[in-house]
């Protein structure tokens, strides 16, 4: 399996100078995809007039690789899970655009095209996204040397429903949902959650995401299992959260509850709540001059994930 992955890497290294414009996309699973039903590949890419990309009907999960320019990497890596309510992937707005920004800062970034929960694709639809997130972390660690990544500085990031997936990876890592014969760690070393879906509490949940992931008739216990504020432990990774108070799609209480749970378990955490911004603002919240991405970089530096920026 590693031989196949190395072939992809070799091809990538020969195109390093083109990394930012033509990133390499590799199959997430070099062999058989777990939890997969046979069927026709009906994946659809929609390119909107503003050039943003949206992907639906994912059957073949992939990683799109953004490495820093030669000599600029700092060893930190992040797997990025775009949002889309578990019905689509906002692949550029909450994926490749963000990955390019990280690569500019010396962080290796990997955009995950994960399977959406679909009973036509997976016999256990609720498990497929988590499997893909775990496989992405496993792949980055397995190829850490080739990608010049520190395997102890591999984090995960997610927006909206992708934030739910990222927080699931960060709170359910003891459950190995994929083959892992080498017993590499499936725990992300840090999390970045941007307007994330977190809670199944009916007063604040994003019903669409939970219904698509678990089904409308999911038991209370199943919904509680995937309510990630209730799954935080002392081993949960350090976390950076961003949300807007006026988010009407995913109420800010989702981030507040997760932050409170992190504090309760003494997990290093930072939360930035903007007065305005709504939902889905991606890299730029147009209601403020403040850039949450810069704040994220500062938080990463303060947690030894990036070089410290010296004051002028």
Is 145 inside a domain boundary? Answer: yes
Q: Count the residues in the chain.
A: 312
Is 81 inside a domain boundary? Answer: yes
Helix (H, G, I), strand (E, B) or coil at 243: strand
Average pLDDT over residues 28-43: 95
Q: 170-205: per-residue pLDDT in tens? A: 999 999 999 999 999 999 999 999 999 999 999 999
- Residue 183: closest CA among 195, 174, 192, 191: 174
The packing angle between helices 207-214 and 161-171, to 10°, is: 60
Average pLDDT over residues 33-43: 96
Using the predicted structure, report yes or no on whether residue 9 has a pLDDT greater than 60: no
Using the predicted structure, report yes or no on whether residue 6 has a pLDDT greater than 70: no
Q: What is the DSSP string of 137-189?
A: HHHHHHTTTTTT--TTSEEEEEETHHHHHHHHHHHSTTS--S--TT----S-S
Is 311 inside a domain boundary? Answer: no
Q: Which helix (H) or strand (E) holds 5?
A: helix 2-13
- Residue 64: closest CA among 112, 21, 11: 112
- CB distance 102 to 77 below 8 Å: no
Is 153 inside a domain boundary? Answer: yes
pLDDT value for 64: 98
Distance CA(269)–CA(217), nearest Å, equals 34
Is 312 inside a domain boundary? Answer: no
Burial 60-94 (b: 16+ CB within 10 A, else e): ebbbbbbbbeeeebbbbbbbbbbbbbbebbbbbbb
- CB distance 191 to 238 below 8 Å: yes
- CB distance 184 to 152 below 8 Å: no
Is 296 inside a domain boundary? Answer: yes
What is the CATH number for 83? 3.40.50.1820
Using the predicted structure, report yes or no on whether residue 7 has a pLDDT greater than 70: no
By residue range, what is the domain housing residue 100? 2-29+40-302
Sort strands 108-113 and 77-81 into parallel, antiparallel or unpaired: parallel
Is 220 inside a domain boundary? Answer: yes
Q: 234-292: per-residue pLDDT in tens? A: 999 999 999 999 999 999 999 999 999 999 999 999 999 999 999 999 999 999 999 99
Is 78 inside a domain boundary? Answer: yes
CA 214 to chain centre: 19
Using the predicted structure, report yes or no on whether residue 5 has a pLDDT greater than 70: no
Distance CA(290)–CA(279), nearest Å, equals 16
Domain count along the chain: 1
């Amino acid at each position: 399996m590693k031989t196949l992955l190395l072939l992809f890497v070799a091809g990538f290294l020969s195109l390093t100078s083109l990394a930012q414009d033509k990133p390499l996309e590799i199959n997430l699973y070099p062999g058989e995809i777990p939890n997969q039903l046979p069927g026709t590949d009906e994946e659809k890419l929609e390119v909107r007039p503003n050039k943003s990309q949206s992907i639906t009907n994912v059957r073949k999960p992939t990683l799109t690789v953004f490495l820093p320019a030669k000599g600029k990497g700092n060893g930190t890596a992040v797997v990025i899970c775009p949002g889309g309510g578990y019905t689509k992937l906002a692949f550029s707005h909450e994926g490749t655009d963000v990955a390019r920004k990280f690569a500019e800062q010396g962080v290796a970034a990997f955009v995950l095209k994960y399977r959406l929960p679909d009973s036509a694709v997976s016999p256990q639809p609720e498990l497929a996204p988590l499997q893909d997130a775990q496989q992405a972390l496993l792949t980055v660690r397995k190829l850490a040397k080739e990608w010049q990544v520190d395997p102890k500085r591999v984090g995960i990031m997610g927006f909206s429903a992708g934030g739910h997936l990222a927080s699931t990876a960060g709170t359910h890592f003891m459950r190995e949902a994929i083959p892992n014969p080498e017993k590499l760690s499936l725990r992300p070393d840090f999390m970045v959650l941007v307007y994330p879906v977190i809670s199944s509490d009916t007063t604040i949940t994003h019903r669409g995401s939970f219904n698509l992931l678990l089904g409308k008739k999911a038991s209370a216990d199943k919904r509680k299992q995937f309510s990630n504020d209730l799954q935080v432990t002392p081993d949960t990774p350090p976390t950076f959260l961003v949300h807007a108070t006026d988010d009407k799609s995913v109420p800010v209480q989702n981030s507040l509850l997760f932050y409170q749970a992190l504090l309760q378990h003494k997990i290093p955490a930072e939360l930035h709540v903007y007065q305005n911004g709504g939902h889905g603002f991606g890299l730029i919240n147009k209601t403020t001059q403040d850039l949450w991405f810069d704040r994220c970089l500062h938080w990463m530096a303060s947690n030894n994930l990036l070089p410290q920026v010296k004051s002028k």
